[in-house]
Amino acid sequence: MLNFVVAKAQTYEFGLFAGGSNVIGDVGRTQYVDPRDGTIGAIVKWNRSNRHAFRASFIHASMIGDDNDSDDISRDLRGLKYNYNLLEASVGIEYTFWEWDLYSGTPQFTPYIYTGLTGFHYDLFALSNNGELEEYGSTFEAAIPIILGFKTTISSHFVLGIEVGARYTFTDNLDGSNPERSKKDFANLQFGNISNNDWYVFSGVTLTYTFGRKPCYCNF
């Protein structure tokens, strides 16, 4: 016997993320959420049910840290700074707190949380002989994203969201404070708190376009 099961909230979303970034580390400002530096990227979602979606994104960010911008007097006197670009790719699952049914014909809005696995490419820095941070290479690293947001439909095909997302990284050198120990004499160039890994944060808005007709699954 052939049974037809209709899924009410399955569609696709594709759009943009734009906002700011900051590093939580040992150089620069000490605020946890401080979206000063530009961030832009693409985001795609597959709303698998009215409570969760598979999500992927690719984001480019400017990562800038300057001790002279810090409220910490010791950092301000030290005067270290860095400036580099970070490229991030992320895949995971987005859960909505309330039902998210894009086929209901009524305005939709809900808070959400996202997590998954993130990989990113960034430049490596270390203290030079003249006491400044200098680039010595680049590498790939992994991170765990923890994103909180709120989204709402603004028309039959567009969704607007706002979110703040912290990424816990598996490195302590986003700011040049703990360069790789495999490099010669780098152990003598460590500074700050080398017991904790660094975080970085993206804060911004998403605008996605929804498409894909309401599907019908066939169970045999």
Q: What 3-state DSSP class applies to 111?
A: strand
The model's pLDDT over 23-82, given as tens digits with 9 standing for 90+, comes to 999 999 999 999 989 999 999 999 999 999 999 999 999 999 999 999 899 999 898 999
**CA torsion angle 70 72 75 77 (round to 10):** 100
Backbone φ and ψ for 98, nearest 5 degrees, come out as -125, 170
pLDDT value at 2 more than 50: no
Is the C-alpha dihedral spanning 89, 36, 15, 148 positive or negative? positive
pLDDT for res 11: 87
Whether 62 contacts 39, CB under 8 Å: yes
Q: Could you tell me where the beta strands, DSSP code E, fall in 25-78? A: 37-47, 52-66
C-beta separation of 17 from 40 below 8 A: yes
The predicted pLDDT at position 216 comes to: 52
Backbone phi, then psi, for 74, in 5-degree steps? Answer: -65, -35
Instruction: Report the C-alpha gap between 218 and 220 in whole angstroms.
Output: 6
Q: How far apart are CA 32 and CA 24, in angstroms?
A: 6
**Structural domain count of the chain:** 1
Find the CATH number of the domain harbouring 111.
2.40.160.20
Domain that holds residue 7: 3-219
Number of Cβ within 10 Å of residue 114's Cβ equals: 20
Question: Using CA atoms, how far apart are residues 210 and 208, in angstroms rounded to an integer?
Answer: 6
Q: Give per-residue pLDDT as tens, 174-197.
A: 998 888 755 556 667 777 777 889
Q: Give percent of the chain above pLDDT 90.
A: 68
Q: Identify the pLDDT of residue 195.
A: 81
Both tokens assigned to 191: 């500074």
Amino acid at residue number 118: T
Per-residue pLDDT at 220: 35
Q: Decide: residue 140, CB within 10 A, 0-12 exposed, 13-18 middle, 19+ buried.
A: exposed
